[in-house]
Structure 1
């Protein structure tokens, strides 16, 4: 009788077709442990670079296999053990993650032989909290090379290529259930690139907790949709952990305050049965502190029953920076396991990178799909601020039972293209575009207010007398204008012309508001300003003491000169000459510091504004830090052009700016490091940059360093001391006095941190 026969090459053909790469193979074995009600699975790699000696072990504490389970399940290709019943695990009620019964081909993909030891748990009712002890143990081995040396699979039983024996449980002895797979030797040695690629994928095999767990308190300014985002379709479940060890040990992802470092956080919920879509977006506390008008947005929209698969998502966005490459991107998870390649650096399933590269001056038309009357108005240039996928870290969670439209490709690398995938893609992209609009509208308004304020301050600086502070003139003129209007109010009330009085009172309001805003700005720091003013007075008096010390050092030099002719021994003469040289250097340093203190603290330093030579004024500050610069062997470069001059400024102000910037640079530059200062003049704006090697400053969080009493260091410098938390606050006030700005910027190559201030020069 004729019959079908199956060539042993089937394993190789199926393995290449169904298991794309090593990481996919291990993922399938981990899923098998999950389906077997394991609470923990360990993947251990040893000697991976040496294929002949290399091995991979996958061990879990799941329900295990009896002989019948092994023969009807593991040894049966495309078996139906996960297709029958309700497709849930027997004890914890987990929705099965596999369905084609070919996960064991992953072992063939990885190695030439497989050793199996599996202990079958006793029967337990669904909903039990733990698995009971084992009742029997199956010990088996499979030699894939021996199988493939045969012609057909029906020759396998007589070949000893597959060996199975059963160990019955000894009475009175209890052993835990679980399965161990040992695969060795490897089919090929793993290169360092293969290992690193796997480790990166392993980090995101399961979603990081920030993408589903309860967010820390006060991270967002208003509630989102979930306390915890539903990840899996499960009943009562004790949880599931994946551990990697040996050559496959996954390094920890360093992410302190990872949610707090986001700018905006969004959550999405679509329910297939009802067709209801819900989206909520909120600024983080850090964003709200920076942009007071920032606010969340949420909407609900009925898209039609069964219009797409049920999915939930949480997305964290960062402004002006990106996430760590290991976690950046919006990834897709099915039953808690990642579906590659969505979210990979080379995958652009949402079109974010494509649109980021081709962005133009137009609005985001994807938001036309939103039916919400309170949707923020579009800006015609909002597409210019689109960000690539690296600015997002997110997860889209899908479940088998509510995603019938999504069919996995046979190699487990993504879904078949179709309406279901398009639906998810569309609404996730709408959400990221909504984040862009919310952020842009807030930044645009704030930037416009700041621009107007800078222009007003610049105009005041032009008109201010050489002996007057621009801000003082601004306050005085606003107060005079308000007083003038109030005089009109008073006269109008006396004459009974209430309409004129009301108009004058209205005209006075902007001037009063400006005086109020300026007084509030200065008043919040008034106490520390008084302290610093007191210190400045003391330093001004101390200049006389410093000059006296310089004279005394000069006197020591003169005494040494008188003593030299009377010295006869060469050793003593050498010591006296070294002492004379040191005394001369000391006297010179004291004189330079005295000049600096005069510029910084004297009445003359705030008496007259003038266009100051920038390079020369920077050089005047540097000697104040000469001792520390020398001790740390720092190379300091002044690359400011000799002809560059400031707008009219007080010498004390420019001295204060450079003092604070150089002080911070010296503190945070490592031994043997570099500090470089350079400046440009372009389109009427003078830009001065101070950059240094050593400690890096996170630009996304740098604005807080300009807040009063926020010291840049908690550890005092041995020479420079500990900051008072006012240096950058004062520096910003000096710069803003002339309509300028100051901020941390991206440093040049070979430098760690850069800070730049800009002031208009006319």
Structure 2
């Protein structure tokens, strides 16, 4: 053994004085020397271990791609482009590029090439935007081996002058029987633009072919890579008391040239889906381990809170939020559409440090045992009935650690307590919802009985009338039957009106979905149309002599295009405000100003002058929906336009004022139309009463269906306010007043 040791020492000394150094030979001699140490033994790693890490720790191809997307996010990238070439068969190519921080040669050697590096443990937040880094195990890089047999890595840090390129051939170089430390990966350095930065991974000879369904799985993974809800503030941090991280511009994923909403629009988390929820359930554990629950239902009009009797100290502080859906036509408009969305994407997902932990929330993953658990006898719910997330952090929930495979949490005592906490909250909340639904049903039945009682009362009045007739009067069965028919006709007419009103509201609600799609498409079409018109205009001018006539025609086209754009913008804004069920104190100055700005071009083309004022300009309503105020203004506007059209008013003027009177915020809407005739003043707030012709249409006012003022009246009632005709100012023909209570804060200030 001494002879072998002497020969190795001599050989190593000779290699160390050569120029240039043969690093591969030095590494070989170094390993042989270490193997002869009589006092110790050391682990060695076979090169085949890379393959096992790639295929066994990152088993699914979509998981592998998700790991690479996470790495780009960790590197402060604002985008990542994923491009497949010849992906429909084995042996294709995948190019992944981002604009992240990039790496130096030191970073590559000390972090990227080191197995299970602790770099992200030591630096849990990204340097530029302070993002909570997703990686903790240092194995994400081996996802590239899971995807393909070859890798060409190119990377550059900002302000560096050289780009670095490293080549890996997993299939040829990393074979069984070779030591991992003996594998050589050639490095190239070449000049590049100084401000350029980021990393590109060119993965060649893909192991698998990729189908359309595979891409849908990728998008689904990307869809929930980060929570579809606002990240709690504890997931972001400052560097210190003085220096803060740069504002995070966001992170976009583009696959084969398309964003998710473009590639798979049916996977978009549409606000319309969340707006259909029966209730919003929230739970949190405070610093003392005490659990708290809250449930709020807009549709059932109740809110409740509860504290848990158990202690969850082992879990740590956390928050979770879940939308609860009951697929019932009484609670949502499109049950089929909502259920299909729930089946695709329903479930309660877990996010750790801002990133998704699989497989929680997948359709086949019943991690809370909602289906098979004993509690389900009360819950009567499963994954598709819930859509939400649990937010964990490594700082607040250190016992909730991910497994080495990055697919799931270690199922220790803290994990079991976490499951107990969430199930306790869901059970309590769903029972509260069931209780209020029962109460509502009782109220509906009571109202139905009252309706029947009123009909019976009307009949009784007629019977009493007949009884009170003078003696000797001829009261026969024919008279009784006639009176009964009259009462039945009144009741039937009332029922038909109620049914007609409900049906029309359902039609309008369904129509709103189509309008939402139309406004989205119209907005994009208008933008493209304007660009095309500008280009066409310049081309025609260069070819024609009479530029004045050409300019006049193009000005008319531009005006029409602008009106169409304004309308699309208004509809988009209304949809944005309508899909949320949250109420707020509405600042009337901002709402009225925005309303007027959106129709500015329309008013100019119709030669309508506008005057408005809000006193005081900080006037706010009690909590209500923003869309309700917009609906009131829009309905008043359409009525005013039609009235001025019918009146052929020479001076077309509209005046909106908002003032405080006692405890109410009152909006006065005036126009120079003919006003409301005395004989119809008592009917204008009834459903389906209209004076508009269905044949005369305007791009803003539209045809009349007789629901506008009825909707305004309903909005006033539900918000404990009023709507009424009022005396207009001099020069105006009509004035509507809409009043709702002011905000409690302004009310208290007034009392002080």
TM-score category (smaller protein): 0.5 to 0.7
Tell me, what secondary structure is at the counterpart of 2:62?
helix
Change (3 A) 1:97 1:473: farther
Structure 1 residue 146 corresponds to structure 2 residue 140: no
> Paired residue for 2:206, among 186, 209, 213?
186
Tell me, what secondary structure is at the counterpart of 1:188?
coil
Q: Compute the RMSD of aligned alpha carbons.
A: 4.7
1:93 deviation in Å? 4.6
CA distance in 2, matches of 1:192, 1:58: 19
> Paired residue for 2:278, among 256, 263, 270?
263
Structure 1 residue 66 corresponds to structure 2 residue 104: yes
CA distance in 1, matches of 2:686, 2:495: 21
Structure 1 residue 26 corresponds to structure 2 residue 32: no
Structure 1 residue 174 corresponds to structure 2 residue 184: no
Match of 1:328 in 2: 346
Contact residue 229 and residue 313 of structure 1 kept, 8 A: no
1:27 deviation in Å? 1.8
1:428 deviation in Å? 1.8
Structure 1 residue 103 corresponds to structure 2 residue 118: no
Tell me, what secondary structure is at the counterpart of 1:353?
coil
Map 1:587-736 to 2 at 5 A: 609=484, 722-725=704-707
Structure 1 residue 443 corresponds to structure 2 residue 437: yes
Contact residue 42 and residue 245 of structure 1 kept, 8 A: yes
> Paired residue for 2:77, among 17, 33, 38?
38
Normalising by structure 1, we get a TM-score of 0.52
Structure 1 residue 349 corresponds to structure 2 residue 367: yes
Tell me, what secondary structure is at the counterpart of 1:420?
helix
CA distance in 2, matches of 1:143, 1:452: 76
1:336 deviation in Å? 1.1
> Paired residue for 2:304, among 296, 299, 308?
296
Moved over 6 A (4+): 647-651, 653-670, 708-713, 715-721, 726-729
Tell me, what secondary structure is at the counterpart of 1:48?
coil
CA distance in 1, matches of 2:295, 2:438: 19
Match of 1:117 in 2: 154
Question: Alpha-carbon deviations, 1:364-418, whole Å to 9, x = none?
Answer: xxxxxxxxxxxxxxxxxxx2x6432322221111111222212322221111211
Match of 1:426 in 2: 420
Contact residue 130 and residue 236 of structure 2 kept, 8 A: no
Map 1:461-540 to 2 at 5 A: 468=458
> Paired residue for 1:404, among 394, 398, 402?
398
Tell me, what secondary structure is at the counterpart of 1:181?
strand
Map 1:207-226 to 2 at 5 A: 207-208=227-228, 211-212=229-230
Say which is worse superposed, 14-23 or 173-182, in terms of deviation: 173-182
Tell me, what secondary structure is at the counterpart of 1:401?
coil
1:609 deviation in Å? 4.7
Question: Alpha-carbon deviations, 1:280-302, whole Å to 9, x = none?
Answer: 33333x442xxxxx233254878
CA distance in 2, matches of 1:666, 1:393: 27
Tell me, what secondary structure is at the counterpart of 1:152?
coil
CA distance in 2, matches of 1:24, 1:86: 24
Instruction: Count residues with an aligned counterpart.
Output: 465
CA distance in 2, matches of 1:298, 1:100: 38
Question: Alpha-carbon deviations, 1:532-551, whole Å to 9, x = none?
Answer: xxxxxxxxxxxxxxxxxxxx
1:234 deviation in Å? 6.6
CA distance in 2, matches of 1:94, 1:662: 50
Question: Alpha-carbon deviations, 1:319-360, whole Å to 9, x = none?
Answer: 43556245422110011111111111111122223359x854
Structure 1 residue 391 corresponds to structure 2 residue 385: yes
1:254 deviation in Å? 5.6
Tell me, what secondary structure is at the counterpart of 2:206?
coil
1:184 deviation in Å? 2.3
Structure 2, unaligned stretches of length 5 or more? 1-31, 36-41, 329-334, 466-478, 512-577, 582-627, 629-684, 698-702, 712-752
Change (3 A) 1:154 1:263: closer
CA distance in 2, matches of 1:196, 1:718: 46
Larger RCO (alpha carbons 8 Å, 6+ apart): 1
CA distance in 2, matches of 1:308, 1:254: 29
1:459 deviation in Å? 6.3
Change (3 A) 1:91 1:388: same
CA distance in 2, matches of 1:712, 1:6: 83
Tell me, what secondary structure is at the counterpart of 2:215?
helix
1:608 deviation in Å? 5.2
Change (3 A) 1:283 1:174: same
Question: Alpha-carbon deviations, 1:393-446, whole Å to 9, x = none?
Answer: 211111112222123222211112111112222222222223213222222222
CA distance in 2, matches of 1:667, 1:242: 35
Tell me, what secondary structure is at the counterpart of 1:184?
strand
Tell me, what secondary structure is at the counterpart of 2:361?
coil
Change (3 A) 1:263 1:39: same
> Paired residue for 1:203, among 223, 239, 254?
223
Tell me, what secondary structure is at the counterpart of 1:295?
strand
CA distance in 2, matches of 1:287, 1:95: 38
CA distance in 2, matches of 1:120, 1:242: 20
CA distance in 2, matches of 1:355, 1:400: 29
Question: Alpha-carbon deviations, 1:63-109, whole Å to 9, x = none?
Answer: 211112212322232334334x4544445554442222221110001
1:456 deviation in Å? 5.3
Question: Alpha-carbon deviations, 1:549-598, whole Å to 9, x = none?
Answer: xxxxxxxxxxxxxxxxxxxxxxxxxxxxxxxxxxxxxxxxxxxxxxxxxx
Normalising by structure 2, we get a TM-score of 0.53
CA distance in 1, matches of 2:368, 2:86: 39
CA distance in 2, matches of 1:727, 1:95: 51
Contact residue 231 and residue 397 of structure 1 kept, 8 A: no
CA distance in 2, matches of 1:711, 1:20: 62
Contact residue 62 and residue 214 of structure 2 kept, 8 A: no
> Paired residue for 1:281, among 295, 310, 323?
295
Question: Alpha-carbon deviations, 1:240-296, whole Å to 9, x = none?
Answer: 41312217742241624555443322333324x533434333333x442xxxxx233
Change (3 A) 1:104 1:709: farther
Match of 2:319 in 1: 312
1:458 deviation in Å? 4.3
Tell me, what secondary structure is at the counterpart of 2:284?
strand
Contact residue 26 and residue 106 of structure 1 kept, 8 A: yes
Map 1:533-572 to 2 at 5 A: none
Change (3 A) 1:316 1:668: closer
Contact residue 232 and residue 335 of structure 1 kept, 8 A: no
CA distance in 2, matches of 1:189, 1:354: 37
CA distance in 2, matches of 1:411, 1:58: 22
Change (3 A) 1:93 1:457: closer
CA distance in 2, matches of 1:19, 1:101: 12
CA distance in 1, matches of 2:305, 2:66: 38
